[in-house]
Amino acid sequence: MTRTQVAKYWPVITGVAVGVGWLVTGSVQLGEIKSNNKHSHEKAAVERSQLISEDVRLNKRIDKTDKKLNRLKTKTESMNETVIKIEIGQKQVIKNQQRILNKLEGR
């Protein structure tokens, strides 16, 4: 190329050089974005698996607590029934003692 041709086409040559530079820079930035995105997905997958295992652990603990609660509820119901039976028995004993006392006083 001669000087006049270079002088004539220098805006085109500069534009092509800038365009190529812009494409290279853009592809580098795109690579960084893809890398960051991949890293974020991997991190999210690890966190998701940790949350799933934590959820399983909590569900087991809830089930265990529910079983204990059911046992305590059953024991409480049984104790309530026993207390009622004892109260009924005490009333009967008191009635019998009163009858015996009345008979002894009547003699």
pLDDT in tens, 66-103: 999 999 999 999 999 999 999 999 999 999 999 999 98
Q: Which domain holds residue 39?
A: 1-78
Instruction: Kindly provide the residue ranges of all beta strands, DSSP E only, lying in 1-107, ordered along the sequence.
Output: none
Residue 4 belongs to some domain of the structure: yes
Q: What are phi and psi of 79, to 5 degrees?
A: -65, -40
Tokens read off for 86:
């004892």
Residue 30 vs residues 21, 26, 62, 98: alpha-carbon distances, Å: 14, 6, 47, 99
Structural domain count of the chain: 1
Residue 68 belongs to some domain of the structure: yes
Give residue-wise pLDDT tens across range 28-40: 888 888 888 999 9
Residue reference for tokens 């997958």: 45
Residue 65 belongs to some domain of the structure: yes
The overall pTM is greater than 0.85: no
